[in-house]
Amino acid sequence: MADSTVKKYYDGLAQGKLLGKKCNKCGGVTFPPTTACNECGSYEQDWTELSGRGRLLFLSHGIAPPPNPRFNDLAPYGYGHVKLEEGVYVQAIITGVDISPDALRKHFEAGPSPVIPDILDVEGLPVLAFKAG
Amino acid sequence: MAKSPCTHGQAPCFDQNYHLDRGDVEGSAGLTRRVRGVAQKENAVSKRWKEPAHILGVGCTRFGNLLETPELAGLGLQELAAMAAKEALADAGMGPQDVDAVFVGNVTMQTSQMPATYSQLANWLGTRFKAGVHFDAACSTTNVGATMAAMGVASGAYDRVLVVGLESTQSQPDGLSPYARTTIPTEEMWLWTDQCVNKAYSVPQGYDIFPTYNAFVAQGYCRKYGVSLEDLDRGLFELCRTRRLHGAMNPKAIRQQTLEDEAKAMGFDDPWAFWTSRYNPHVAWPSRLYSVVTPADGASAMVIGRGDEAVAGASAPVELKGFGVSVMDLPWYDDDPTVMPIDKESFSKAYTMAGIQPGDIDYLHTHDCSHIMSICSAEASGFLPEGQGLAYAREGRLRFDGDRPMSTHGGRHAFGHAWAASAGSDTYEAVKQIRGQAGPRQMPKAPKTAVIHTHGYAMISTVLVLQGGN
């Protein structure tokens, strides 16, 4: 059986690892991993593990009920725009935050804050979320 | 990142690639630099048409709900598509057998349950024996179809091509019934739609369009330009009022009630009090429900041809001068959610091909599933100055009778959004404005140059430049 990039990513998450790809040509990091470098389009990449440390640039929330029924029990959830220290951007569920308008306004006024991964098990699927780090 | 407009030349220049090629600007960290190599390659093929291509006719149904809206209730998608095609062909002064090919767009197959859509529709459109294909560029579908049709015409392969977009976002076939339809729960419709975005990692990981395409953009706009959250809310309120005014003057819009009248009907004398009430909740703070898309059912169509034939009874052709298309999946932006590199690309390509500058634009539509994103795109287009879009909205300058008229059909919120059909509805409006056929919402001076921008989910940034002869 051939290796599935997507399955390897989720298997990595289940073990607490953020797996991406690093380009052999330009050095660019692609996360989550695909078959081509996000920077230059090259297919010549190797697996790499990201630190998971990042900064939460913007924080809001999603709708409820959510589009994906897997998240029915979590919605409405905090959702954020995160820049990882490797320079890639990811949008993900943010845990442990108050998503009332007043709290979100305070968060916005305070500006970006450090986050670390908080990998959730949601009905059997590992999900990359982040929490205050 | 190159600011728009730059100051290097005599006229404002929006060709970011020019500056990147020269090395006199750098992309900011991240995406702009990242797309640089690709942009240069793509720009090499962004040239002029070998032969001119024109929009000869346009058609559009009312946007509404196949289960409720009087003009649509009870119809099937086949009849909806035929309704739009019939209008476009009549507008072009021809019949269905006068076209050489038909390009049919539809996105959510779950609601049509009509794979091989074109061959199924040929008997309904009257286009048996004609070449055709079903295609999908999400919410840019019909305008991407226009570019493909124009390529067919400009190459000499076809004389005339019919482009049709059809979509239901409100209902799906009831079981295996040939005609009965049933409502789709909102979240299920969004699930099917969100599957247009990175299938492997987005929906499975809790992706949600409302923060991604609305809230982060709004927060980014405030942070970048020092706009207060109160001014953001007030600006989006005024933008909604403008779009609803346009919808109230458009018999094809899904929402034909002004915001003020809706507020009164709900017991609010002050529309601002209605705006900030529980009837207009935050879908994703600070973005409210009435600053986002109104999903709809609908169809649109256009006939593309050379435009060099005199056809009795036909409306005036409108030239498709140029186009730009640029595509990427998430993430659509880096530190600055107000800037999508693909928009810079698509505007630049389209302007270069059409030989225009932003100052030439008389009428603009930018994709407005998210009102704040539409302002950012309008600023990226050069039609509005950076950081000033909401102020322009507050001053009424974006109205049909303002000095920066935009989305006079009502846009995605008031006209409604039927995914594959909507870009065609935007082009329909631009063509009507150029010809002076827009009725009560006609711009006082009919535009000569119109630019139509759409975001196909996600994300297919598509720009058309249209020019009329007046």
Q: What is the 3-state composition of chain B as percent helix, strand, coil, each rounded to the nearest 5?
A: 40, 15, 45
**How would you class B74 by CB atoms within 10 Å of its CB: exposed for 0-12, middle for 13-18, buried for 19 or more?**
exposed
Residues B33 and B132 in one domain: no
| CB neighbour list of residue B276: distance below 8 Å, 6 or more residues apart | B233
B29 close contact with A: CB closer than 8 A: yes
Domain count within chain B: 2
Claim to verify: residue B155 and residue B98 sit in the same structural domain? yes
pLDDT at residue A1, rounded to an integer: 83
B32 Cβ under 8 Å from any chain A Cβ: no
pLDDT in tens, B26-70: 433 333 434 434 444 444 455 789 899 999 999 999 999 999 999
Residue B324 has pLDDT above 60, yes or no: yes
CA pair distance B326, B349, nearest whole angstrom: 9
Considering the domain architecture, whether residues B35 and B67 belong to the same structural domain is answered as no
Residues B281 and B322 in one domain: yes
Same domain, yes or no: B23 and B85: no
Residues A63 and A118 in one domain: yes
Is-contact B407 B246, C-beta < 8 A? yes
Is residue A38 domain-shared with residue A15, that is, in the same domain? yes
Among chain A residues, the shortest Cα distance to B205 is held by A127
Using a CB-CB distance cutoff of 8 angstroms, which residues of chain A are in contact with residue B287? 60
Rounded to whole angstroms, how far apart are CA atoms B337 and A80?
A: 12
Pick the residue from chain A with its C-alpha nearest to B328.
A38
Q: Which chain A residues have a beta carbon less than 8 Å from that of B334?
A: 83, 89
- Concatenated DSSP letters for A90-110? EEEEE-S---SHHHHHHHHHH
B337 touches chain A (CB under 8 A): yes
Dump pLDDT digits (tens) for A88-123. 999 999 999 999 999 999 999 999 999 999 999 999
Task: Give dist(CA B210, CA A99) in Å, integer.
Answer: 14
Nearest chain B Cα to A34, which residue? B200
With CB atoms and an 8 Å threshold, state whether A60 touches B211.
Answer: yes
Distance between A22 CA and the closest CA of chain B, angstroms: 14
CA-wise closest residue to B12 among B385, B346, B376: B385
Of B191, B194, B334, the CB nearest to A89: B334
A99 and A77 inside one domain: yes
**pLDDT tens readout for residues B292-305:** 999 999 999 999 99
Query: Which chain B residue is nearest to residue A26, measuring alpha carbons?
Result: B34
Same domain, A23 and A88: no
Q: Are residues B200 and B219 in the same domain?
A: yes
Taking the Cβ of residue B191 and every Cβ of chain A, the question of whether any pair is shorter than 8 Å is answered with: yes
C-alpha B315/C-alpha A54 separation (Å) is 57
Question: How confident is the model at residue B9, as a pLDDT?
Answer: 35
Q: Which of A17-26, B9-18, B329-338 has the lowest mean pLDDT?
A: B9-18
CATH code where residue A123 lies = 2.40.50
CA dihedral B343, A31, A71, A8 (to 10 degrees): 140
Quote the tokens at residue B444. Answer: 């006082």
Provide the domain count of chain A.
2
Strand partners, B137: none
Q: Which residue of A has its CA nearest to B188?
A: A67
Token code pair at residue B355? 């030989």
Residue contact A87–B220, C-beta within 8 A: no
* Residues B416-445: b if buried by 16+ CB within 10 A, e if exposed: bbbbbbbbbbbbbbbbbbbbeebeebbbee
pTM for this one?
Answer: 0.93
Identify the residue among B198, B201, B287 best suited for mutation to test binding to A, counting A beta carbons within 10 A and taking the highest.
B201
Both tokens of B210, joined, read 């409302």
Domain that includes residue B277, residue range: 50-470
Kindly tell me if the per-residue pLDDT of B10 is higher than 50: no
Domain limits at A13? Answer: 1-50
Could you tell me the CATH number of the domain that includes residue B350? 3.40.47.10
Task: Tell me, yes or no, whether A76 and A108 share the same domain.
Answer: yes
Question: Quick one: DSSP state of residue B439?
Answer: G
Which residues of A fall below an 8 Å CB-CB distance to B?
6, 9, 28, 32, 34, 38-41, 57-58, 60-63, 65-71, 74, 77, 79-81, 83, 87, 89-93, 99, 101, 104-105, 108, 122, 125, 127-129
Task: Kindly determine whether residue B211 and residue A38, on different chains, have CB atoms separated by under 8 Å.
Answer: no
Interface predicted TM-score (ipTM): 0.98
A44 and A59 part of one domain: no
Q: Are residues A93 and A125 in the same domain?
A: yes
- Quick: pLDDT tens for A41-68: 999 999 999 999 999 999 999 999 999 9
- The burial of B21, by beta-carbon neighbours within 10 Å (0-12 exposed, 13-18 middle, 19 or more buried), is given as middle
In this prediction, residue B469 carries a pLDDT of 77
Beta bridge partners of A90: A82
For residue B353, is pLDDT > 70? yes
